[in-house]
Amino acid sequence: MVEVVIDSIRVSLMSQHRIVILKDVDSERFLPIWIGPYEAEAITVSLQQMEVARPLTHDLLRNVLQALGAEVLRVNITELRDDVFYARIVLRVDGREMEIDSRPSDALALAVRVHVPIFVAEAVMEEAATTPETSVESEEGGEEAEDERLEVFKDFVESLDLDDIDSGEGDSES
């Protein structure tokens, strides 16, 4: 398993979908995952430590787990099958470890609330992660270097088949 952090959440210019970008903590690999706007909002609210009047769904989940004495240990993104990502929330309950199936967006929204590490299976990283191409010349290029680093995301977004995205509920994980 590869430890990652949430690098950013990007907005698709062509739809209301969002992309969460996970970054390998030990390298320059980035894993983009399409998520829905509500899940993106839930992650952003927590990352930016915004106050909300009433608990959001992921706050409720955190509160229920705490009230039941469960401890969230980590979040694992375990598989990519047919362009769908799968995740597991790893808990400790009454001294034993258990895993709960989850969409990655929900698992990430919980992880940022309870401050636990996020891991991605190496096979998923190998299949879906991208690595920006850099050169010594571009690292000294200021704005030009930034453009080159973002080029990998442009290539990724341009390669997407947007006709396959359903305009219904949820995100591409389901």
Give bridge partners of residue 2 from the DSSP assignment: 120
Instruction: Give per-residue pLDDT as tens, 17-59.
Output: 899 999 999 999 999 999 988 889 989 988 888 888 888 889 8
Long-range contacts of 48-55 (CB under 8 A, 24+ apart): none
The contacts of residue 162 (CB under 8 Å, 6+ apart) are: 14, 15
pTM for the predicted model, two decimal places: 0.74
Give bridge partners of residue 11 from the DSSP assignment: 18
Cβ pair 76, 142 in contact under 8 A: no
Full set of structural domains in the chain with CATH: 2-128 (3.10.690.10), 134-159 (no CATH)
Q: How many helices (H) and strands (E) does the chain have?
A: 6, 7
pLDDT of residue 128: 94
Tell me the pLDDT of the chain (174 aa) as tens digits. Answer: 999 999 999 987 777 789 999 999 999 999 999 998 888 998 998 888 888 888 888 989 999 999 999 999 999 999 999 999 999 999 999 999 999 999 999 999 999 999 999 999 999 999 999 988 754 444 455 566 566 666 666 666 666 666 655 544 445 554
pLDDT of residue 138: 45
User: Alpha-carbon distance 126 to 58, whole Å?
Assistant: 29
3-state secondary structure of 3: strand
pLDDT of residue 146: 62
**Full strand arrangement of the beta sheet holding 84-93:** 30-35, 18-24, 2-11, 118-120, 71-81, 84-93, 96-102
